[in-house]
Amino acid sequence: MSSKAKSISLFDGAILAQALKGSIFKLDPRQLVRNPVIFVTEVVAAVVTLLWVRDLLSGSGTPLFSGQIAAWLWFTVIFATFSEAIAEGRGKAQADSLKRTKSDLVAKRLKAANGTDYEAIPATSLKLGDIILVEAGDLIPGDGEIIEGVASVNESAITGESAPVIRESGGDRSAVTGGTQLLSDWLKIRITTKPGETFVDRMIALIEGAERQKTPNEIALSILLSGLTLVFLIAVVTLSGLAAYSGTIMTVTVLAALLVTLIPTTIGGLLSAIGIAGMDRLIRFNVIATSGRAVEAAGDVDTLLLDKTGTITFGNRMATEFIPVDGIAEDELANAALQASLSDETAEGRSIVALAQADYGLSDNVLKGKEASFIPFAAQTRISGVDIGSRQIRKGAVDAILKFAGLSKETAPQSFQKAVDSIARTGGTPLGVAENGRLLGVIHLKDVVKPDIKERFAALRAMGIKTVMVTGDNPVTAAAIASEAGVDDFMAEATPEQKLAYIRKEQEGGRLIAMCGDGTNDAPALAQADVGVAMQSGTQAAREAGNMVDLDSSPTKLIEIVEIGKQILMTRGSLTTFSIANDVAKYFAIIPALFVATYPQLTALNIMGLHSPQSAILSAVIFNALIIIALIPLALKGVPYRPVGASALLRRNLLVYGLGGLAVPFIGIKAIDLIVAALHLV
């Protein structure tokens, strides 16, 4: 899935420099208090620094040791803020390019809605309901609804897609976005959002993380981490009393080192980076979520409502087979169908030409040099075709073709009737072909299911997600396509009300629903769904109702959105497990070091064979700080999600992050201890 995403190098130089600066600003305790674990670390670091200064001034104690502990405690805090800054930095780079599209826009405000007189005003002073004129070459100054005109618009500034799109008044394509450029014609637009609240403004705010609020799961996890911090605070503070009983006077520096290594600084430091990076991953998939809550909900989704057209099938009926009536050669039918379709520019027509060329080796210049006049499709006759001299070739709806051939249902050849029935049964559309009153056969038009979609649905099923196909087709057609695509359920002849009812019913059963849509009539369902993805090409109403906007307008993206949601939760869980498991090794480093002076026998617990008590404590603190830096890439990229079912996923992650979390610090602390001892740092 990464192949499709726009990628920013993990450690882009400019972003790194920005992030370093940002990580210093984030040390402000008033900001840091939102992250209790790191806040405690900062307080402890400040205390140890004071003690170091006291040691220096009084010339007593061990300033070399306490100085280094203080430094590494500060590094722990800075690494944590740095991880957040770097996650934000990656978003900022994108926000900056958006901001450029916004600057210095000029609006042409019409003095009267039906006139052409306008005054040029800065886009920032546009008000809700203003009518503006936009002409070819202009940048559209704000979000709005087209009230008059048709034009092509380049929306690459927000979608990254350079092909222009058509926007027109009325219908589902009447919304325009500020910052996009009009390529042709002119439009009259009614402004529908206040300045500062336009789509681009919201995007910038979201990307920059200014509007970032903790998501429900993040809050719950923060509570767990704060609770653990309190537990360890109790353990460490009371330890000084128990140690005093045993005849060991513990210095505050040592207690501080113990506390910071025990509290879950690893996950605490990376928690907000994980959330920001998750939003960022969505943005690189060209999806803008209006809230982190929705992204998280995506991970919990149980049911996906997918539109058939464009998601499951290619969206156009395509010719897949030519079935001649008895006595007609297949080639003759194919040839006739080809000639009748050569000038047919509809997708169906083109697919007939393509099939004739591919499967029957026919050439599309059969008409070259002949006098041919094309008969376009008309709603009254429901047939189209070509006249070549006296030959009249027609294709069209079955009953219309029968009429053209002078036949009726009863008088039609049995083989024709059989072919028509079998096509209808499988959900296809039969198209009759006739030449001069002679019935040639039937073209099988079929909604073609995308080639890899069945595997994707199987993967979703393994993830425990049910797929429901929504289509306006009749139940027979819908059932045929549903079984071919391998969806779990389908909704035929679906109306917006039915969709809404279906979502409500599923939600009452405790399920979370995701859907995508683009039309105004989709808006209620989009709003009701737990994850509603609106297409950027859709109406303003749809975009307002959903909690995500897909800039590429690709409905299959729901699947990626779900995966990203899951990745965020998995990354949090894995790093939490890792962080807690780390503590076991830290105990074996620090506890014998603390009490070895009183009880030399406790050396037995120094199973890592660390050099000296001070180097053991320092090594544990250094490991604790460096592990944050080492895990930043994982926090930003996320733990990879595999659609293998919860049990297999859990087994794998427990093995990697649980057992790994137990083992890694033993190796890491020992290695650091060797270096500390070799450099005579203490």
* Residue numbers annotated as active site: 307
Q: Per residue in 551-573, is it b (16+ CB within 10 Å) or e — as a string?
A: bbbbbbbbbbbbbbbbbbbbbbb
Distance CA 163, CA 154 (A): 7
CB 256 to another protein: min, Å? 15
- Between residue 251 and residue 290, which ones bind another protein under the rule CB under 8 A? 258, 262
Looking at the Cβ atoms of 97 and 246, the one nearer to another protein is 246
Q: Which is nearer to another protein, 85 or 581 (CB)?
A: 581
Output phi, psi for 339, to 5 deg: -65, -40
Stretch that binds another protein, among 176-184, 310-318, 344-352, 563-571 (CB under 8 A): 563-571
What is the spatial distance between Cα 260 and Cα 422, in angstroms, rounded to a whole number?
73
Residue 559 touching another protein (CB under 8 A): no
Quick one: 17 or 650, whose CB is closer to another protein?
A: 650
> Is 138 labelled a binding residue?
no
Question: Between residue 648 and residue 677, which ones bind another protein under the rule CB under 8 A?
Answer: 649-651, 653-654, 657-658
Q: Which of 55, 88, 155, 296 binds another protein (CB under 8 A)?
A: 296
Q: Does 569 bind another protein (CB under 8 A)?
A: yes
Show contacts with another protein in window 449-468 (CB under 8 A): 461-466
- Report if residue 246 touches another protein, rule: CB under 8 A: yes
Positions 377 through 436 that interact with another protein (CB under 8 A): none
Give 489-528 as a 3 state SS string: EEECCCCHHHHHHHHHHHHHCCCCEEEEECCHHHHHHHHH
Stretch that binds another protein, among 75-83, 292-300, 343-351, 611-619 (CB under 8 A): 292-300
The reply, when asked if residue 383 is annotated as ligand binding, is yes
Cβ contacts of residue 396 below 8 Å, gap of 6+?
377, 381, 382, 383, 384, 385, 404, 431, 432
Among 94, 159, 265, 567, binds another protein (CB under 8 A): 567
> Number of residues in contact with another protein, rule: CB under 8 A?
75
Q: How far apart are CA 632 and CA 635, in angstroms?
A: 5
Give yes or no for a contact between 280 and 461, defined as CB atoms under 8 angstroms apart: no
- What is the spatial distance between Cα 139 and Cα 181, in angstroms, rounded to a whole number? 4
Closest CA to 415 of 324, 319, 335: 324
How far apart are the C-alpha atoms of 639 and 654, rounded to whole Å?
12
Distance CA 243, CA 228 (A): 22
From candidates 384, 576, 615, 619, binder to another protein by CB under 8 A: 576
Alpha carbons 72 and 53: distance in angstroms, whole number: 15
- What amino acid is encoded at 172 in this protein? D
What is the x/- site pattern for another protein, positions 219-238, by CB under 8 A? xxx-xx-xxx-xxx-xxxxx
CA distance 502 to 558: 18
Separation between Cα atoms, residue 30 and residue 43, nearest integer Å: 12
Q: Name the one range near another protein by CB under 8 A: 178-186, 281-289, 448-456, 647-655.
A: 647-655
Is residue 6 within 8 A of residue 160, CB to CB? The reply is yes
Query: Which of the stretches 169-177, 280-288, 567-575, 607-615 binds another protein when contact is defined by CB under 8 A?
Result: 567-575
302 near another protein, rule: CB under 8 A: yes
Q: Which is nearer to another protein, 186 or 599 (CB)?
A: 599
Rounded CA separation 348/354 (Å): 10
Q: Does residue 369 interact with another protein by CB under 8 A?
A: no
Of the candidate residues 203, 570, 618, 682, the single one contacting another protein (CB under 8 A)? 570
Asked if 217 is part of the footprint of another protein (rule: CB under 8 A), the reply reads yes
Instruction: Give the 3-state secondary structure of residue 571.
Output: helix
Q: Mark the segment that binds another protein (CB under 8 A) among 34-42, 163-171, 182-190, 295-303.
A: 295-303
Segment near another protein (CB under 8 A); pick from 211-219, 316-324, 534-542, 613-621:
211-219
Report 113-172 residues binding another protein (CB under 8 A). none
**Shortest distance (Å) from residue 289 CB to another protein:** 17
- Using rule CB under 8 A, residue 242 touches another protein: yes
Q: How far is the CB of 172 from another protein (least distance, A)?
A: 33
User: Residues 515, 304: contact at Cβ < 8 Å?
Assistant: yes
The one-character DSSP state at 139 is B
Selected from 188, 566, 611, 670, the binder of another protein by CB under 8 A is: 566
- Of positions 119, 510, 678, 679, contacts another protein by CB under 8 A: 510
Q: How far is the CB of 467 from another protein (least distance, A)?
A: 12
Q: Which of residues 586-645 bind another protein (CB under 8 A)?
A: 587, 591, 594-595, 599, 601-602, 604-605, 641, 645
What residues from 191 to 210 belong to the interface with another protein (CB under 8 A)?
none
List the one residue out of 190, 281, 199, 266 whose CA is nearest residue 1: 281
The Cα angle at residue 369 between residues 363 and 371, in degrees rounded to 5:
110
- Residues contributing to the annotated binding site for Mg(2+): 518, 522
- Residues contributing to the annotated binding site for ATP: 344, 348, 377-384, 395
